[in-house]
Amino acid sequence: MRLFLLLLAFPLCAADDANAILRRYLDAGKQNDEKAEQYAYVQDNAWFVPDKSGELKQNRSETLEVIFVEGQIYRKLIARNGKPIDAKEKAKVDKEMRETAEQRRKHRGWAPDGGGITNGHSRADFGSGEELLTLFDNRVTGEEEIGGRKAWVIESTPRKDRPPANRHEKDVMSFGKKFWIDEAENEELRAVYTVVGDRLFLKPGSTTTIEFQKIDQAVWQPALVVVDARNTAAKIVQAEEIRYSNFKKFDVQSTITIDK
């Protein structure tokens, strides 16, 4: 009888453990975000499509310099397909940056990027930390080592007993989630988001994988994002890789101010 009761209690304990780990991760993330927002970096985007044999081939790329303009993040195009943009396009980019700076001077306020993925027209929202705890069933599925660091593996599935209340929650609950949380620092080492609903522009089976790295032994930043977009037959029809490099600490209090 006692063994039976212990077996009944185990799923609840496992859920509590997963939520406790996620709460520590979310608390650590808030502190890390304050530090991460002080870094400028380079972002390399590459897009891939399958050839006739089904093998993915890169068909274009862009390089962006991610800086702070008037206290907010700004992504400035500096190269296409591995070559610096020409003088005509550079003039256009500089003009857009000046116009953005002017708009930001008129509308002061910090507006950080939200978590999610976009196709240029629509956005798939991964949801907030609070929504992770309230809209998903979270469970610890094991331990793994990534880059010499021990991590808890947590899988999160949309709750069946909690129907989405609005369109936003429907989008958030269209993903299944898997996290690797560093046991020593409660930081995210890896995350995989898999589309499980049919409400998004991404089809079920499409995945977004995010790898993280520690910079200056002080702050965690994304290192690589890979998006595999699939069709209804679960075949990859397009892929995107985003790599982050050349992180440099930047004092946002002495932000770049662009003259009119």
Q: What value does the mean pLDDT of the chain take? A: 86
Q: What value does the mean pLDDT take over residues 31-52?
A: 93
Go through the chain and tell me how many residues it has. 260
Q: What is the rounded CA–CA span in Å between residue 105 and residue 99?
A: 10
Consecutive H or E run containing 248: strand 236-249
Give the position of tokens 């930043």: 221
CB-based contacts of 103, cutoff 8 Å, min separation 6:
none
Q: What value does the mean pLDDT take over residues 61-83?
A: 93
Asked if residues 119 and 125 have their Cβ atoms less than 8 Å apart, the reply is: no
- Under the banding of pLDDT at 50, 70 and 90, the label for residue 11 is very low
Q: Is the pLDDT of residue 7 over 90?
A: no
Q: What percentage of the chain has pLDDT greater than the value 90?
A: 67
Asked if residues 209 and 190 have their Cβ atoms less than 8 Å apart, the reply is: yes
pLDDT at 104: 87
Nearest CA to 176 among 201, 209, 146, 130? 209
Q: Is the pLDDT of residue 14 over 50?
A: yes
pLDDT at 144: 97
Asked if residues 175 and 194 have their Cβ atoms less than 8 Å apart, the reply is: yes
- Under the banding of pLDDT at 50, 70 and 90, the label for residue 115 is low
C-alpha pair distances (Å), 116 with each of 36, 93, 202: 18, 25, 12
pLDDT at 76: 96
From 111-120, 175-184, 241-250, the region with the lowest mean pLDDT: 111-120
pLDDT at 235: 82
- Of residues 207 and 110, the one with the higher pLDDT is 207
- Under the banding of pLDDT at 50, 70 and 90, the label for residue 233 is confident
**What confidence tens digit (pLDDT) does each residue in 158-171 have?**
999 999 999 999 99
C-alpha pair distances (Å), 169 with each of 63, 65, 128, 238: 33, 33, 10, 26
- Of residues 188 and 118, the one with the higher pLDDT is 188
**What confidence tens digit (pLDDT) does each residue in 90-102 have?**
999 999 999 999 9
Q: What value does the mean pLDDT take over residues 198-202?
A: 76
Q: Is the pLDDT of residue 257 over 60?
A: no
End-to-end CA distance of the chain: 78
- Of residues 250 and 76, the one with the higher pLDDT is 76
Dihedral sign from CA coordinates of 129, 138, 125, 145: positive
C-alpha pair distances (Å), 24 with each of 146, 176, 212: 19, 21, 17
Q: Which residues pair with 124 in a beta bridge?
A: 117
pLDDT at 120: 53
Q: What is the DSSP letter of 253?
A: G
Domain boundaries defined on the chain? 2-59+115-245
